[in-house]
Amino acid sequence: MQIARVIGTVVATQKHRKFEGAKLLLVQPLNLDDTPRGVALLAVDGVGAGVKEKVLIVLEGRAAGEALGKKAAPVDAAVVGIVDRVDVVMA
Amino acid sequence: MQIARVIGTVVATQKHRKFEGAKLLLVQPLNLDDTPRGVALLAVDGVGAGVKEKVLIVLEGRAAGEALGKKAAPVDAAVVGIVDRVDVVMA
Amino acid sequence: MQIARVIGTVVATQKHRKFEGAKLLLVQPLNLDDTPRGVALLAVDGVGAGVKEKVLIVLEGRAAGEALGKKAAPVDAAVVGIVDRVDVVMA
Amino acid sequence: MQIARVIGTVVATQKHRKFEGAKLLLVQPLNLDDTPRGVALLAVDGVGAGVKEKVLIVLEGRAAGEALGKKAAPVDAAVVGIVDRVDVVMA
Amino acid sequence: MQIARVIGTVVATQKHRKFEGAKLLLVQPLNLDDTPRGVALLAVDGVGAGVKEKVLIVLEGRAAGEALGKKAAPVDAAVVGIVDRVDVVMA
């Protein structure tokens, strides 16, 4: 899993039927010091996250489908938690 | 998922039987400012997308197979939506 | 999926029993202008491809296992089609 | 699998219900000489590992879900062992 | 699949119960000219390979679990063959 920031949303009215009701979030993966890491990507929302929130994302199809609660959904990334605190003990 | 642009098609008459009827699209992943990101790849069409359209792609086998509606299909990427609008709130 | 060129073969007599009968091809992924892209890799043959042919490869275990027709095969890449033509409309 | 060092923990009270009870560890992948390799990531704990320990991690959803003992869990990385010794015979 | 050289072993006495009996090998992926490619990683042994041998590895969880003969094993890489010969016809 990675830590990311929700930075936007995507609207796609014509989409695969298994996506019905799914919210698509644009998320930016972060480094431990909260600077951006790599490029932004799209993830389905599995926890009711909002823009600007720091979230926990999974980057794998099976896991993302589970997050959406639809086993056969054609998704490969999902927001699965909202991050409260990151404790780095040694780095 | 990633945002991409359909930039072409691929014809492969001799192919695995599970591909019968599947349309193969050449898609170019995009950055948020619509510039190309990385190299073009091939994806099966799961929503009836056409060349030049901005689409939503999944890059994972299980997810792509679901998009094609064939669980056991030997595919690893699929177009699963047509993008109407991307709203970047913070970047 | 990606486009690749078959550039050789690999012989491994001592291998996992689920590979029995599988042909192992050495494939070089290609860019759209047919120049090599990244490094060569090994893929099981799912369509009867030969050396020098331009092929369609899947890079994912589930998909590759399906291509081999053996669901439980320990493979992660397969040749699933022979490319006849690539039409790039816009790039 | 990769060798990594547990360098911290992450607290996410609002998360997908399948995560209930799972401990989230911040792990830093290591090179063979124990220098950091790439960026830190999050993994669920499957063996009771603690901060500063050298561990074995899997980076794949199905495998990570198995480590958590929950097949349908939306996870993509897990700590599956504590490393006692690495013997490099040739490098 | 990739070609790699077995360069060592890893001992992890405290590990996930599904690993019981599995041998953990340290493998170095190779280029076609046998020079190292990228960094070494850990793979479970599915064919009885020894240190210094040139092997065939799969890098994907489902495939690796099959190699171990345990579908639900938390593994993401496995040695599935011992390479006898690589024939590069064109490069």
> What confidence score (pLDDT) does residue A54 get?
96
| pLDDT at position C87 | 94
pLDDT of residue C71: 65
Please give the average per-residue pLDDT across E63-81, as a whole number: 79
Q: Give the pLDDT score at C30.
A: 94
pLDDT interval class at B71 (50, 70, 90)? low
pLDDT in tens, B29-44: 999 999 999 889 999 9
In this structure, whether the domain defined by B2-82 belongs to CATH 1.10.599.10 is answered with: no
Residue D91 has pLDDT above 70, yes or no: no
Query: Tokens 């076609």 map to which residue?
Result: E32
Q: How many Cα atoms are found within 13 Å in the side-chain-facing hemisphere of E87?
A: 11
Mean pLDDT of A68-81: 80
Q: Band of the pLDDT at D56, cuts 50, 70, 90?
A: very high
* DSSP per residue, D38-83: S--EEEEESS---TT-EEEEE-SHHHHHHHHT-TT---S-EEEEE-
Chain E: touching chains (3 or more CB pairs < 8 Å): C, D
What pLDDT shows up at residue C72?
67
B62 pLDDT higher than 80: no
Q: Is the pLDDT of residue D42 over 90?
A: yes
Contact between E56 and C26 using a beta-carbon 8 Å cutoff: no
Picking from E8, E16, E64, the nearest residue to D47 by CB comes out as E16
Q: In the beta sheet, which residues pair with residue A45? A: A79
Q: For C39-86, what is each residue's pLDDT tens digit?
A: 899 999 989 999 999 999 988 777 777 777 766 677 788 999 999 999
Nearest to C81 among B14, B26, B61 (CB): B14
Mean pLDDT of C30-47: 91
* pLDDT at residue C88, as a whole number: 94
**Shortest alpha-carbon distance between residue E17 and chain D (Å):** 9
Nearest C-alpha of chain C: how many angstroms from B2?
15
Res D36: pLDDT: 93
Q: What pTM, to 2 d.p., does this model score?
A: 0.84
Q: Kindly calculate the radius of gyration of chain E based on its CA atoms and give it in whole angstroms.
A: 13
Provide mean pLDDT across the span D41-66.
88
* Whether the predicted pLDDT of B63 surpasses 80: no
Rounded Cα distance between B10 and B41, Å, is 10
Residues of E in contact with C39 (CB under 8 A): 31-32, 37
The pLDDT score that the predictor gives to residue A72 is 67
Residues of chain B with pLDDT > 90, as a percent, come to 53
Q: How many CB pairs under 8 A join A and B?
A: 108
Interface-testing mutation among B62, B75, B76, B82, with chain A (most A C-beta atoms within 10 A)? B62
* Of residues C8, C28, C74, nearest to E87 (C-beta): C8
Task: Report the pLDDT value the prediction gives residue A91, as an integer from 0 to 100.
Answer: 66
In this prediction, residue D71 carries a pLDDT of 65
The answer to whether C64 and C44 have CB atoms below 8 angstroms apart is: yes
User: Per-residue pLDDT tens for A8-63?
Assistant: 999 988 888 777 778 999 999 999 999 999 889 999 998 999 999 999 998 877 77
**Interval E5-57: pLDDT, tens:** 999 999 988 888 777 778 999 999 999 999 999 889 999 998 999 999 999 99
Quote the CA–CA distance of E72 and C81 in Å, as a whole number.
31
CA within 13 Å, CB half, E34: 10
